[in-house]
Amino acid sequence: MDLARKKSGGQCYGITFPLLLNAQGQKFGKSESGAVYLSPHRTSIYKFYQFWINVDDSDLEKLYKLFTFIELDEIRTIIEEHNKNPHLRVAQKKLAWDLTCRVHGEDAAKRAKDASAILFGEMDIREADAELLDTLSAEIPFAEADSIIGGPITDLLVLSGGCASKGEAKRKIKEGGVYLNGVKVTEESKQISSEDLLNGGYVQLRVGKKDFRLVKFRG
């Protein structure tokens, strides 16, 4: 400020803002883990969307007031609606949608929203188009393979990294913990068919509750 005043020969003014802290007293900033950037090259659009989905309930009203142009009366209505069923994360979803639309555009926001819905069981992956699956492939463990139509799913589980061996793959299937495109696999001898391929030549595997993987066939 002193340098600017001396150089210009006039009065200089500045605006300061308090640090933005979350509910745990941690600052939002690039030096913190999990920081988000506006550039999709630094933070993918999906991760940007998920950042706002995961904010703490106690931070919501402050973040709405700081980062959106939503009227105060509407913000209060959103928070009141959210508080009735906080587990549905209504306010977080609206915040994530609003910010992702304004930063990255509505089309990109929809892809991020749909990718999130697939991973959290709110959308059937069989409804996804190739572009959405391409988005997902950048966010979860991903592998490519030559076409193995007619090959056993146990091979695919090992190839994708979902299981360390065919023996483990068979055990996971027997325990009911393997899903192909969202459908539970019940037979250890299950073979991949052309009907299992999603748009763009993908298949999705899930091992357990949260281990999602995508495989894309080149053949």
Q: Where are the chain's structural domains? A: 45-137, 143-217
pLDDT for the residue numbered 13: 84
What residue ranges of the chain have pLDDT lower than 70?
29-34, 219
| Listed residue (173, 176, 180) closest to 213, CA to CA | 180
pLDDT for the residue numbered 28: 74
pLDDT for the residue numbered 38: 93
pLDDT for the residue numbered 22: 78
The token duo for 104 is 């990255």
pLDDT for the residue numbered 162: 96
pLDDT for the residue numbered 19: 80
Q: Which CATH superfamily is domain 45-137 in?
A: Tyrosyl-Transfer RNA Synthetase (1.10.240.10)
Per residue in 124-135, pLDDT tens?
A: 999 999 999 999
Q: How many CB atoms lie within 10 A of CB 109?
A: 21
The model's pTM? 0.80
Handedness of CA 125, 46, 88, 184 (dihedral sign): positive
Amino acid at 52: W
Any idea which fold 143-217 has? 3.10.290
